[in-house]
A and B are shown apart, each in its own frame.
Chain A
Amino acid sequence: GAVVSQHPSRVICKSGTSVKIECRSLDFQATTMFWYRQFPKQSLMLMATSNEGSKATYEQGVEKDKFLINHASLTLSTLTVTSAHPEDSSFYICSALRGLNTQYFGPGTRLTVL
């Protein structure tokens, strides 16, 4: 099966600091990856589409300067939450598109901003 990893699995940081989350497709190459945010008891909200070698496409209402996405290789996309604040605390999940249709999800990263 397709495997996607995320690192770290959980992170606690102080308000005002930046946090980087990595998403890797371990056994396939992914031109396209996606970043989601999920609040408790809610569904996944798409934040942005990450395309290898080009700029990410952000969903409406998502600040691109706050959530920096880099997709430098076919197996790695990173999400950096800059100047994190408590309201950024959430569960961040990435997925990688395999083939034309199927997204495989990472295990998620729990971010807590104090």
Chain B
Amino acid sequence: GESVGLHLPTLSVQEGDNSIINCAYSNSASDYFIWYKQESGKGPQFIIDIRSNMDKRQGQRVTVLLNKTVKHLSLQIAATQPGDSAVYFCAETFSGSARQLTFGSGTQLTVLP
């Protein structure tokens, strides 16, 4: 599958504040979700994942929340740092897709000093 973003939503937060990045996914059959971070000129970097049998998963400074009822995914970053500035993509997949990922349009996070 493919997802084409015609524009890039932006989010600006103050250093030290918490960030919340939202994503609406499209396929109700999707059973695995991943958040990726992409810095300029680099490939996406895995942040955290969650399976559809969970509604919350925590990592180091990051939390992913999944609401299957409304097909919504969010990424929370605690105590946002300048190094967190990047584009964040959610991606969805399901077991019948040969694990092909469908990417969301992405959100540009800018951390202000």
Query: A residues engaging B (CB < 8 A)?
Result: 4, 6, 32, 34, 41-46, 49, 57, 59, 91, 93, 95, 97, 100-108, 110
Q: How many whole Å from A85's CB to the nearest CB in chain B?
A: 20
Count residues on chain B whose CB falls below 8 Å from chain A CBs: 30
Question: Would you call the interface of chain B mostly helix, strand, loop, or mixed?
Answer: loop
Cβ-defined partner of A43 (8 Å) among B43, B45, B103:
B103
Q: For chain A, what secondary structure do more than half of its interface residues adopt (helix, strand, loop), or is it mixed?
A: strand
Given contacts A43-B105, A43-B106, A107-B43, contact A49 B98 (CB under 8 A): yes
Find out whether the CB atom of B100 lies under 8 angstroms from the CB atom of A93: no
CB closest chain-A residue, reference B95: A100
In the bound assembly, the distance between CA atoms of A106 and B101 in angstroms comes to: 15
